[in-house]
Amino acid sequence: MADKYSMISFVPSVVLVGIMIVGTFAAISFIKKNIAKDAALAAQRND
């Protein structure tokens, strides 16, 4: 097992990477929903 000083550096880094990955997926889904909403509005206006 690694000593506590290397874990003090390693654990926050892993947590930040995890947060960035989750945030990326959340942002992608948010953008996809908004694109679909805008496409539906544009299709409705063209009718």
Which whole-number Å values give the CA distances from 36 to 23, 39, 43, 44, in the listed order? 20, 5, 10, 12
Is the model's pLDDT at 40 over the cut of 90? yes
pLDDT-derived band at 1 (thresholds 50, 70, 90) equals: low
pLDDT band at 7 (very low <50, low <70, confident <90, very high): confident
Summarize the confidence of residues 30-45 as an average pLDDT: 95
Tell me what the mean pLDDT of segment 4-11 comes to.
84
- Phi first, then psi: give them for residue 2, nearest 5 degrees: -75, 155
Residue type, 27: A
Residue scoring higher pLDDT (36 or 9) = 36
Q: What is the mean pLDDT of residues 2-20?
A: 89
Non-local CB neighbours of 16 within 8 Å, separated by 6+ positions: none
